[in-house]
Structure 1
Amino acid sequence: MTAGLRRRGIAGITGAVFGAFAQFVLAMVVTRTFAPADAGAFFAATALALMAAGIAKLDAGNGLVYFIARAKTYDYLGISGYIRAALVPCVAVSCLAGAVLYPRLGPVAALVPVMAVGDVLLAATRGFGAMRPTVLVDGVLVPFAQLVLVAVVCATDAASWLPVAWGAPYVPALVLAWAGLRRRVPRTPYLPGTGRDLWRYTAPRSAAGAIQAVFQRLDIVIVALLGGPAQAAVYTAATRFKVVGQLANQGLAQAVQARLVTALANGERARAGELYQTATLWLVLLTWPVWLAYAALAPWLLRLFGPSYGAAAPVALVLAGTMMVATACGMVDVVLTAAGHTGTSLVNLVAAITCTVVLDVALIPVHGAFGAVLGWSGGVLVKNLLPLWQLHRRHGLHPFGRHTLTALRIRVTA
């Protein structure tokens, strides 16, 4: 792993760790302040807002990373046109989503466009190889401000204001993301065909990104609908640690994605394999101790959310085992899409979310939160093992191999 890539990887992981810790503390503050029904309603509302923003951003951020990273020169002629072409549909769809959800979510629905557009702008900065804006804004500012504002609301015992306090930090995040990107992109005339090229690549990923956003949060919403808000609170508390794996994977993917795109575009399969295997090793070394510790300490850790939450230890055990398998596959979907297989990625995600929904509907009414984690686990395994097999068959890429030993020696001797 080069020094620059190592720094970006460490930066991504640092932001992920801070964000995961802040989200864990936020959940603990909410569950210890409010009854499970109120806490569960809050968790369901925020999950719905995140799902809507994830759908509305149309995965345009990853499309921008792809085109910016493939630029051959640093004048980036036409890049500002790509950014404008990406933002217009996102703004339109996110405003529509906010309007549809306003009767259900209230004022926090108005923040859905802010969340979606801010995410796309931050992604564009990563296309230039810059990790600092993402780490500082998405990894530090937003989760820290959410924790502070939610704690203030908890101190006043005003449960109805929890979603607004949680969503407010996305406003300054949008401003900072725009400022960080503006410094890097000269404004150039819109080139004909720019939007067509961008959306030809991104369209399959837009559907896949929407399904991915639903997949990450749907379980909480389904538990709230089928099992009630109290079960949603128990499930959210017991699975709060899954954000560690999600954010760690996201942090490494953000650091490596642009280089993966460049390597695969240039036909450098060996270089792409090295990046994939090195990132997988880091992911396993950094997260497996967390999952093992969580599995061992779950009965005690869950009581931090309140005395009644300790009974959810079986949920934590399934979570830990599933995440260990998922992290061993590495950022497999990112590699698949970097290789240009966006349609295949979409099919994989459809299969994963179908598996989750079928298992959830069958198991949640009988087993509550435990049924939900079984459904989530089935979907996660499908989502990781399918692209793992496809990468092996099409490109001969594996999450572990000779580059793993090289990266391990570098880590040990560093």
Structure 2
Amino acid sequence: MAALTLPRLPRLPRLNGSARGGLAGLAGAATAAAAQFAVVVLVTREAGQEAAGTFFAATALCLMAAGILRMDAGNGLIYFIARSRPFGYHCTSGYVRAALVPVGTLSLVTGVVALLSTPDPTVRVLAAALPVVVCADVVVAATRGFGAMRPTVLLDGVLQPVAQLVLVSAVVVAGAGSVPLLAAAWALPALPVLLLSAIWLRRRLPYTSYLPGTAHDLWRYTWPRSMAAGIQAVFQRLDIVVVAMLAGPVEAAIYTAATRFKIVGQLANQGLTQAVQPRLVRALAAGDLARARELYQSTTMWLVLLTWPIWLGYAVLAPWLLGLFGDGYASGVPVALVLAATMTLATACGMVDVVLTSAGHTGSSLANLVAAITVTVALDALLVPSCGASGAALGWAGGMLVKNLLPLWQIHRRYGLRPFGVHSLAALKSWRAR
């Protein structure tokens, strides 16, 4: 665990581990967000709008494919590794093998097929990197099942995004800023992340014989979430691809620039979620609703306190901030306003989908995401041809509201959980006392 402490946290001893892990995850997510934002600024300013839009659409397509192919195996491993903690992580190596073999095989086959079936050099570069990108994410996620945040912070939060920034900068400085070379610079850092996280996991994972039924147990829990994760990956980046297809790469570049601030606002959610998820799994598995309520309400308040100033500031400063990307990006101000308003409301719901899946309701999570992606696609098809980037923003906003409000209603109906309550007040008091 990173040796960082959150000053004057709520005086609830059981939250200390979550707070420290959340701060560590927050630090890693902040570094990643800053590096990714810098990459976008660099590409938009140096590559031109058309090349930038092509690059953003290609990498979004790669990340969409990776999100589908990893089949949420990482979160499945977190679930089973965290539950096996009282038993000394018995049989966890079998779960890791049960997750990586199908995920690695499927991503390798997909990458080879894509590599051989297209003449586009950018797509070929990303197809070659696809299996590494997929497996790196799964292995890093598995380390969090042990309650450890250090590998995620150092590898996923620091090494990969910083290396991407350095390599993309090197390509631009060398004057060889073609889209395929930019794609290669963006994809290459996934390789050391995979190798280093695999070494960390291997050293701490007790080797056990593979027991019959291990894969069945893992995928029985994970398969609904696998479909949901694929839809979630599509939901997160489909808008960029749709804008590029229906409105052209220039509009895609403007839309990507205006929505890149999502990373800044979402870093708190990412850091806290990574730390709290294993604890939520254990609390809900034990039927400890008081503990689950404590975790949910405290993290929701911290999310509000950390992100609302960001979104309100972005709404006010959007014209100036979008100017950082270069000439021609100020037209993305309406996109920025829709983004800020939507994320303000979504943050107030807290990590509702994490609570729902931690309780084992992966099927409900899947249904919610299907509804969200349906709304997004319908609105995009209706609005993007005439409104361009602004239409895509409205489509994304509609899907985002569905994605958050449906699970909020479900966890309240099933468990009586609300995003705000007595534990929110404790978090607020600690914030004021800092």
Give the CA deviation at 1:97: 2.4
What residue in structure 1 maps to residue 360 of structure 2? 340
Give the CA deviation at 1:159: 1.6
Distance 2:296 2:334 in 1: 32
**Structure 2 residue 170 is the aligned partner of structure 1 residue 152:** yes
**Residue correspondence of structure 1 range 261-276 to structure 2 within 5 A:** 261-276=281-296
Distance 1:94 1:284 in 2: 37
Given the alignment, which residue of 3, 18, 42 partners 1:5? 18
What residue in structure 2 maps to residue 192 of structure 1? 212
Give the CA deviation at 1:77: 1.5
Q: Do the aligned partners of 2:265 and 2:310 also contact (CA within 8 Å) in 1?
A: no
Give the CA deviation at 1:75: 2.5
Q: Which amino acid aligns with 2:285?
A: A
Q: Deviations over 1:10-45 (max 9, x none)?
A: 011111111111111110110100121100000001
Relative distance call for 1:128 and 1:367 in structure 2 (3 A) is same
Relative distance call for 1:3 and 1:354 in structure 2 (3 A) is same
Identify which range, 219-228 or 402-411, moves more after superposition: 402-411
Give the CA deviation at 1:232: 0.3
What residue in structure 2 maps to residue 111 of structure 1? 129
SS for the counterpart of 1:73 is: helix
What residue in structure 2 maps to residue 46 of structure 1? 59
What residue in structure 1 maps to residue 155 of structure 2? 137
**Structure 2 residue 319 is the aligned partner of structure 1 residue 299:** yes
Q: Which amino acid aligns with 2:22?
A: G
Distance 1:247 1:192 in 2: 39
Relative to the length of structure 1, the TM-score reads 0.98
What residue in structure 2 maps to residue 178 of structure 1? 198
**Residue correspondence of structure 1 range 6-405 to structure 2 within 5 A:** 6-102=19-115, 103=118, 104=120, 105-155=123-173, 156-160=175-179, 161-405=181-425
Distance 1:143 1:53 in 2: 17
Q: Deviations over 1:342-392 (max 9, x none)?
A: 000000000000100010011000000000000000010000000001111
Q: Deviations over 1:128-164 (max 9, x none)?
A: 1000100111111111010111111112242231111
Distance 1:210 1:402 in 2: 36
Q: Do the aligned partners of 2:303 and 2:350 also contact (CA within 8 Å) in 1?
A: yes
Identify which range, 11-20 or 132-141, moves more after superposition: 11-20
Distance 1:308 1:283 in 2: 33
Q: Do the aligned partners of 1:245 and 1:327 also contact (CA within 8 Å) in 2?
A: no
Distance 1:106 1:10 in 2: 38
Give the CA deviation at 1:176: 1.1
- Using the aligned pairs only, state the percent identity: 63
Give the CA deviation at 1:112: 1.0
SS for the counterpart of 2:328 is: helix
Q: Do the aligned partners of 2:49 and 2:249 also contact (CA within 8 Å) in 1?
A: yes
Q: Do the aligned partners of 1:52 and 1:97 also contact (CA within 8 Å) in 2?
A: no
RMSD: 1.1
Relative to the length of structure 2, the TM-score reads 0.93
